[in-house]
A and B are shown apart, each in its own frame.
Chain A
Amino acid sequence: KAGVTQTPRYLIKTRGQQVTLSCSPISGHRSVSWYQQTPGQGLQFLFEYFSETQRNKGNFPGRFSGRQFSNSRSEMNVSTLELGDSALYLCASSLGGGDSNQPQHFGDGTRLSIL
């Protein structure tokens, strides 16, 4: 069974640009979550989607947005990039449903560097 696939693995952008990251969940998983990992702030929750609906959102500015498609694949977009957006962005999928007790399975992440 294929795991969570994130593309691209590495990305270099400059300040002011925008970027779109992609995540394909494990087959059958309907929930997709996004996290930002930095040395200073650690792992921080961005948002979670289930059946194309955002169910929860972390404390990030509106420049960070996401969406989920009918096949459960998800994208996140960051506009007007800042130096502080340099991070490893992790996507995780789970079966979803009405409870949060299902474990989340993580992809290897997209390493975003802002110059």
Chain B
Amino acid sequence: AQSVTQLGSHVSVSEGALVLLRCNYSSSVPPYLFWYVQYPNQGLQLLLKYTTGATLVKGINGFEAEFKKSETSFHLTKPSAHMSDAAEYFCAVSSSNDYKLSFGAGTTVTVRA
């Protein structure tokens, strides 16, 4: 079984500052890892994914994440926060032939002007 732990339910950053959202996973098989963003009253939008290959993954809206197997982590970063980044972010894990996503509890990002 796979699981995900997101450290910090709320993160507040200043506009222009670094955004760092932490995600640790547990999986007995090679994981597939995803980050999603959810804006109020909307569904989830895929930011980026890691399946195999390059461990540094670039996504949309300037976000990127690095897969570190030794640390079982998949932290999400963005160098410079924008007001439009205020949303809830979810890390999720899956694996081959699993056919489901297991989500973390989510991290709400607030951006201060």
Chain A residues proximal to chain B, CB less than 8 Å: 4, 31, 33, 35, 42-43, 45, 48, 50, 55-56, 58, 90, 92, 98-101, 103-109
Contact of A100 among B36, B90, B98 (CB under 8 A): B98
Contact of B96 among A4, A99, A107 (CB under 8 A): A99
Task: Given the known inter-chain contacts A101-B32, A101-B51, A103-B49, please indicate yes or no for A33 contacting B43, CB distance below 8 A.
Answer: no
Residues B46 and A105 in contact, CB atoms below 8 Å apart: yes
Task: Given the known inter-chain contacts A106-B43, A109-B43, please indicate yes or no for A43 contacting B99, CB distance below 8 A.
Answer: no
Binds A, one of B63-71, B73-81, B102-110: B102-110
Residues A42 and B103 in contact, CB atoms below 8 Å apart: yes
Q: Which of B43, B46, B52, B106 has the most CB of A within 10 A?
A: B43
Residues of A within 8 A of B52 (CB): 101
